[in-house]
Chain A
Amino acid sequence: MAIFFQNLVNALQWGSFYALIALGYSMVYSILMLFNFAHGDIFMVGAYIGFGVSTGLLALSSSGALAMPNWLILVLTILFSMFLTSFVGMLVERVGYRPLRNAPRASAAITGLMIGIILETGNLVLMGARRVSFPSLIETTVYNVGGVFVTNKKIMIVLVSLLLTFALHQFVRRTKWGMAMRAMAFDFAVVPLMGVPVNSMIALTFAIGSALAAAAGILFGVAYPVLDPYMGILFGWKAFVAAILGGRGSILGATLAGFLLGFTEIFVAMIFPSTLRDLIAYSIILLILTFRPHGFFGEPYSARLRL
């Protein structure tokens, strides 16, 4: 029983990463009907930016110029990296997707894929082949709750993720920009007629999505400090699966699906030999999709031009 709860906690943590990344996919998809295949790599870029920022802040702090407690450094890292990574996202949109706004979506998807490769290679060029380690900013304390060992890191990760998801939800529901996004998701063509600056809103969508991915990257770095340039590939594509599983453009769906994916992977690894994890987890996903082909909260597919 304790093992079950142990894995539950792990699953919540693992699912948080997928959920945060899936949110970015879902937001862009709901508005542009486009999957940003560079998104996983933006997660990676966010992690590396976080590495840079935290290392810089640590140096600053230890040199005595601006002494800060580690937890403050972590908070600042998260905020600052989210901010910086949002620009990366906006740049990707401006350079890669805006010229293809009227092109077939498959072409835009390929462009995204290529941009992702450039980001990975760029990282390799800049940082070299050696792996970097995210600085340790939190002392690991382990709490024993009735036989279940929970680290403070895991709790923090899950809490921060839920907080960010909640913040996003409020933003979309309550602000006028959020309303504009929902309108664009509903009927893209009409929105500019209402005086909404479409290009800015799209940029904002990418910015927010990228910021969330950056947060996921940093949280990941806290939990698993060793970063590598290809970390975005597997996470990115799996989060993509989660985004679709959750249903087109549904924030709640993306979050739930992200956690579901995390749960599936962790619990499958608990029951079966870990090498079978992907095999079984994805067979389950495939089965879900066969019976609910439109995801949890998605609308039925309507004929849409693809070429």
Chain B
Amino acid sequence: MPVKERTSRNLLAPYSRVPLLGWFCGALIAVTLERFAGIPIALALGLPKIPVLFGLDIMLKKPALVPNAILYVFLVYGLPMGVTTRSSISLTNRLADWLIRFPIAITVAVHLALLYTTLHLWAGISDYRALVLKLTLIAVMLTLSLNVINGYMGEFSCSHPGFMALGAYCASVFTVGLFVDDRFFGAVFLPPALGPFLFPIALILGGFLASFGALFVAIPSFRTRGDYLAIISLAFLFIVKSMIENLEFVRGPRGLSGQPDWADLPTVFLWTVLCVWSINNFVRSTIGKALNAVRDNEMAASAMTVDTRRTKIVAFLFAAFWAGVAGGLFAHVLRYVNPSTFSIQNLAEVLAMVYFGGLNSVYGSIVGAVSISLLGEALRPLEIFKWIIIPLLLILVMIFRPTGLIAFKDLDVTSLLRPKQNPGGEV
């Protein structure tokens, strides 16, 4: 084996033995470093401030600073993570091994706590980061819920922005009407302190409204499939958008603003976790696999006792619920919502995330949502060219991996959290 190859292989091989716990710890250390030493490091490297999006923002705005930005990313993220994960392999594996003996809920909770702390610290640097993170988490919810319909059940549904809109408006009317001012229900009659506790109710109501709307797409799907369902869902989208534009009650095309600031990072994070968890549970169960059976051969599914109508309704309503919740969160993150957001462009974006990441796969949706969201943000300085690069990227993926980057791969939580190496040092 040539020396160069051998060296790189030797260099990277140990990283395959790092458990997820190790990666999370490494990331936590990196963001802690940035939190406390980020500014001095940035200034020392000749950067005007901490690069907010892994240096990509600075690289695109001031190409002269590209090497400085790269150096920053290396020093603050790359090196700490690389060194700490590698040097602590046996420690983190032992820890992971110990943790996994607990009930899985505890193991998951610990990992999530680590992840959340990392995200919290990372976002603490700037409001922009917090916003990007929240929007990315919402994108994960949208992508995953659309994947349930388009990937797991194999339909081509164009109605997701409509579900999102229903959820966004419903939740907004609830919070604004009950807590902010008197434009909907008369005098505000609930104490504002109660607000954040009732926020989940607002989101759930939004989800239910979206589910109700989904009936208009699910029921026609009994008789038609494929392309005909596509236009039914498209008609649904046009109808919802038009309906909202005509509702003076919610100020029509001018949009609704004044949502209370309850969609903070912990809230959005928790809802995202809930969404991923419940959808993953669902698709791994036999009831959830029925979606695949209906997709791959509906007649055979019927013959094997699967109630195809019930399956379709459950899939649509469940997916729509999460799209509605995501919409509600979205409205409260931006604290403004108007119907033009829920347009064909929005549809194209969310479809892109699903197909890019991978159909029929929780991993795929997370990867797709995070990649396209972050890429979209990172390329913002390029303005309009962003909308040439991202579509091109997607076309390339479609040509070489038509079902997406990580399609058909099950997320098994237990094996994800398992140590990658036995305490004795074997893999």
Quick one: CB contact mask for B217-250 with A, threshold 8 Å, 1 for yes? 0001001111110111011101101110110000
Q: How many residues of B contact A (CB 8 A)?
A: 50
In the assembled complex, B44 has its CB within 8 A of some CB on chain A: no
In the assembled complex, A306 has its CB within 8 A of some CB on chain B: yes
Residues of B within 8 A of A (CB): 150, 154, 156, 216, 220, 223-228, 230-232, 234-236, 238-239, 241-243, 245-246, 252, 295-299, 344-345, 348, 351-352, 355, 359-360, 384-385, 387-388, 391-392, 394-395, 398-399, 402-403
Name the distance in Å between A246's Cβ and chain B's nearest Cβ.
11
Alpha-carbon distance between A282 and B399 when the two chains are bound, in angstroms: 34
In the assembled complex, A115 has its CB within 8 A of some CB on chain B: yes
> Is the pair B242, A117 in contact by a Cβ cutoff of 8 Å?
no
Asked whether A99 and B399 contact (CB < 8 A) given A106-B156, A110-B355, A307-B295, the answer is yes
Jot down 16 A-B pairs with beta carbons below 8 A, ordered by A. A99-B399, A111-B395, A114-B352, A114-B391, A114-B398, A117-B387, A121-B387, A275-B245, A279-B242, A285-B231, A286-B235, A286-B239, A289-B228, A289-B235, A293-B220, A293-B223
Main secondary structure of the interface of B (DSSP, over half): helix
Can you add 5 more A-B contacts, CB < 8 Å, to A110-B355, A283-B235, A286-B236?
A103-B399, A110-B394, A114-B391, A124-B384, A278-B238
> Is the pair B231, A240 in contact by a Cβ cutoff of 8 Å?
yes
Q: Across the two chains, which residue of chain B brings its CB closest to A307?
A: B154
Alpha-carbon distance between A87 and B154 when the two chains are bound, in angstroms: 33
> Is the pair B241, A115 in contact by a Cβ cutoff of 8 Å?
no
Main secondary structure of the interface of A (DSSP, over half): helix
Alpha-carbon distance between A99 and B360 when the two chains are bound, in angstroms: 23
Name the distance in Å between A126's Cβ and chain B's nearest Cβ.
11
> Is the pair B232, A286 in contact by a Cβ cutoff of 8 Å?
yes
Which of B227, B245, B296, B351 neighbours the largest number of chain A CB atoms within 10 Å of its CB? B227
Name the distance in Å between A255's Cβ and chain B's nearest Cβ.
17
Residue of A99, A117, A233, A279 near B391 (CB, 8 A) is A117
Set of chain A residues within 8 Å of B231, measured between Cβ atoms: 240-241, 244-245, 285, 289
Set of chain A residues within 8 Å of B344, measured between Cβ atoms: 233-234, 237
> Is the pair A289, B232 in contact by a Cβ cutoff of 8 Å?
yes
Quick one: CB contact mask for A104-138 with B, threshold 8 Å, 1 for yes? 10111111011101101110110000000000000
Residue of A245, A279, A283, A286 near B246 (CB, 8 A) is A279
Q: Across the two chains, which residue of chain B brings its CB closest to A284?
A: B235
Quick one: CB contact mask for A73-103 with B, threshold 8 Å, 1 for yes? 0000000000000000000000010011001
